[in-house]
Amino acid sequence: MTDIAVFIDRDGTINHDPGYLGDPDHAFLIENAGKGLAILKNELGYKIFVVSNQSGISRGLISRENVDAVNERINELLLKDGAGIDKFYYCPHHPDFSPDAECSCRKPLTGMIERAAKEFDIDLSRSFMIGDSKSDIECGKNAGLRTILVKTGNGIEHFDILRLQNNLPDYISENLYEACIKIKELTQLEN
């Protein structure tokens, strides 16, 4: 039986985004992020995956080890609310800084989502993407996911861009917690 998953952008969606976050001591969750993810994991039984562009690696600003350490710290913080991430996926590429790299993972491309779907047997047609940027929403749509734009991070600015392009997400939420409540409501309607 296939599982349902929620794919979530990291910086600006789960945690505050200071830009090229490489120090775990600077990783701070957005208010109630863990409580929201606990609803998805513990009440609904959904898998939770982070899919994150981390071009700071190819730019030489942070290392893979930095990203892994930040991911580990974010998971520690989330586990306090009983809501660990099942797996973190990230794209280290940027076309201006790694032009020779074969990349199918940089959002809005769907490589990270496709990889998770294969590794964990995920039903993408019933799954969701939550993020604060245009590339998150486009990635979710490209993968056939239902999409939720949060207003934290770059969400408000990117909503205006998406609106001008007539490419709106399926839903808009104030933050990750409210997006998780929306998913719970939708799930209850479908069952």
- Catalytic residue IDs: 9, 11
Separation between Cα atoms, residue 122 and residue 50, nearest integer Å: 14
Q: How far is CA 30 from CA 34, 55, 93, in A?
A: 9, 22, 26
Residue 143 neighbours by CB under 8 Å, 6+ apart? 7, 110, 113, 114, 124, 129
Tokens matching residue 92: 């280290």
